[in-house]
Structure 1
Amino acid sequence: MKLGVTMFATDLAMPVQQLAKAAEERGLDSLYLPEHTHIPVSRRTPYPGAADGELPEEYKRTLDPLVALSFAAAATARLRLGTGILLAAQRDPIVTAKAIASLDLLSGGRVVVGVGFGWNVEEIENHGVPYGRRREIARHHVMAMQALWRDEVASFEGVEPAWSWPKPLSRPPVHVGGAAGPKLFAHVAEYADGWMPIGGRGIKAALPALREACEKAGRSMARVIPFATLATREKLDYFAELGIEEAVATLPSGPADEVLPVLDRYAALLP
């Protein structure tokens, strides 16, 4: 079982380069960083992670994940570098494809792209994206980036045939985050390498539907990477029984004296 970690990287949290170095030194496999470009103060959309809808402070202070991961790359040699979750509908695909390819090249092929659709209506709409179309737009952006990474002359809807270098050293795997369901599994089966369920609850019950979606698309079963889970020995053993080979554990968004003890506990779970 490979075990990675994720943390809200902010201006108040443990510096990313120090976190990345500490994770690699402890034998952890990956570091994933989330994305929120901004949080409109209207707060029309309640935060879904709390009963009172109150938004944690770190959401207002999140670093750009690709910039932050470049510092993590420079501080490490083998740690995989992931976005968790990149809000693909809110990003220009040409610029983002270039940034990801550059990071992958400079890091020696260590980038993993976790993508999602977003939940904060006003944040999404501020990017000119209608909330109801965010899945369709994210799909288009991801597939456009994949064409730019793959093809010598890339073309996709809305852009004339174009050159774009550098190419990634190895095709960055794309994993889609979100709750189980036919819409999400259709996205995974069409253009992604894996599914990143948040927390990990309900995975066993969802696996048959994911397998069916992949079979319908004529492809092999997608990987499953439980994301932002509170890792324990029992939980990791349960994931392994389901055939899952990788999980990503959550860290507090705080200074080193809060983060490192949790990192040590996770490292103790490694074989």
Structure 2
Amino acid sequence: MRISTMTFLTDESIGPVQLAQELEQRQFSGLYLPEHTHIPISRKSPYPAGGPLPREYGRALDPFTTLGAAAAVTEHLTLGTGITLVAQHDPIVLAKQIATLDHLSGGRFTFGVGLGWNAEEAAAHGVDWPRRRDLVRDRLAAMQALWAPEPTAYDGEFTHVEASEAHPKPQALRILLGGAAGPKLFADIARFADGWLPVGTHGMAEDITALRAAWAEAGREGNPQVVPYGVQPSAGKLAYLRDQGIEEIVVMLPSAGADEVLRALDDHAQYL
């Protein structure tokens, strides 16, 4: 089982260059970064985990720039977003950013996609909150048209792109959708993605069965990838996940200085 990591890198935490080098030296599989452009102080949207919103949410570095720095100092470490708030992006620009990062990293990028939870943040980007799922579907379809081998037009409800030259092309881009288990999400995964990026491991066996059924119903071959995210590892939990066919997990690192993060890495290294 591959052990990847996630953390909030901020202007107060360990830097991406040092972290990426330490991860590769210890033979961790990958580094995933979340995204928040800003956090309105009105705080109308409750923090999904409950309680006060952690400080690092309002200080997160841009994931694409940060992962570019990590790519430049590593050779094998996979790089991903967990997750990109696609509704908050121009899809043509985002497609170029992703393809460029994938190209410069030698095909090491995983595109984690999510709907988001902070309505105030999304509103500043002009997102109609109740329709954000439709918007994300539309933008993903437009981006995939731009990544097609030949110039491909896309005419959707929110996005229109003429058949265009758009390079570089992603090499073997993996797309994982995040979100709570359910028919809508699983149908979207079967339509647009390579798998699921769930938070935690609760109910995993039942959810994987439902996802595989949706995958087969959509005519997809094989099985979708499932990459549990933000996992607090233990020997028993990893054994359970292996039994479910899980090949990669993403463990959580503290958003902190180098000393604390490296101690956490050394603790997680026992599971490699």
Instruction: State whether TM-score is above 0.5.
Output: yes
Structure 2 Cα separation of the partners of residues 165 and 207 of structure 1: 35
Task: Tell me by how many angstroms 1:112 deviates.
Answer: 0.6
Which residue number corresponds to residue 84 of structure 2? 86
Structure 1 Cα separation of the partners of residues 225 and 249 of structure 2: 11
Which residue number corresponds to residue 261 of structure 1? 263
Which residue number corresponds to residue 106 of structure 2? 108
What is the aligned counterpart of 1:98 among 96, 99, 121? 96
Residues 1:58 and 2:56 aligned together: yes
Q: Which runs of 4+ in 1 moved over 4 A?
A: none
Structure 2 Cα separation of the partners of residues 267 and 144 of structure 1: 40
Task: Tell me by how many angstroms 1:105 deviates.
Answer: 0.9
Structure 1 unaligned segments of length 5 or more: list them.
none
Supply the AA of the counterpart residue of 1:224: V
What is the aligned counterpart of 2:251 among 241, 249, 252? 249
Residues 1:215 and 2:251 aligned together: no
Contact 2:33 2:80 in 1 (8 A): yes
Which residue number corresponds to residue 117 of structure 1? 115
Which residue number corresponds to residue 181 of structure 1? 182
Q: Aligned Cα RMSD in Å? A: 1.0
Task: Tell me by how many angstroms 1:179 deviates.
Answer: 1.0
Task: Tell me by how many angstroms 1:41 deviates.
Answer: 1.4
Which residue number corresponds to residue 192 of structure 1? 193
Q: Which moved more, 1:197-206 or 1:148-157?
A: 148-157
Structure 2 Cα separation of the partners of residues 240 and 26 of structure 1: 22
Structure 2 Cα separation of the partners of residues 201 and 166 of structure 1: 39
Which residue number corresponds to residue 234 of structure 1? 236
Supply the AA of the counterpart residue of 1:200: T
Structure 1 Cα separation of the partners of residues 57 and 161 of structure 2: 33
What is the aligned counterpart of 2:147 among 146, 149, 165? 149
Q: Secondary structure at the match of 2:190?
A: helix
Task: Tell me by how many angstroms 1:171 deviates.
Answer: 2.6
Task: Tell me by how many angstroms 1:151 deviates.
Answer: 3.0
Q: Secondary structure at the match of 1:150?
A: coil
Structure 2 Cα separation of the partners of residues 13 and 243 of structure 1: 34
What is the aligned counterpart of 1:136 among 126, 134, 137? 134
Give the TM-score normalised by the residue count of structure 1.
Answer: 0.96
Q: Which moved more, 1:144-153 or 1:10-19?
A: 144-153
Which residue number corresponds to residue 18 of structure 2? 18
Give the TM-score normalised by the residue count of structure 2.
Answer: 0.96
Supply the AA of the counterpart residue of 2:20: A
Task: Tell me by how many angstroms 1:154 deviates.
Answer: 2.6
Supply the AA of the counterpart residue of 2:76: R
Which residue number corresponds to residue 162 of structure 1? 164
Contact 1:189 1:213 in 2 (8 A): yes
Structure 2 Cα separation of the partners of residues 154 and 14 of structure 1: 42
Structure 1 Cα separation of the partners of residues 88 and 69 of structure 2: 23
Spell out, residue by residue over 1:238-263, the C-alpha distance to the aligned partner (whole angstroms, 9 max, x if none): 10011111100000000011101111
Residues 1:5 and 2:20 aligned together: no
Which residue number corresponds to residue 75 of structure 1? 73
Supply the AA of the counterpart residue of 1:21: Q
Q: How does 1:9-48 map to 2 (within 5 A)?
A: 9-48=9-48
Structure 1 Cα separation of the partners of residues 20 and 147 of structure 2: 26
Task: Tell me by how many angstroms 1:142 deviates.
Answer: 1.6
Supply the AA of the counterpart residue of 2:215: C
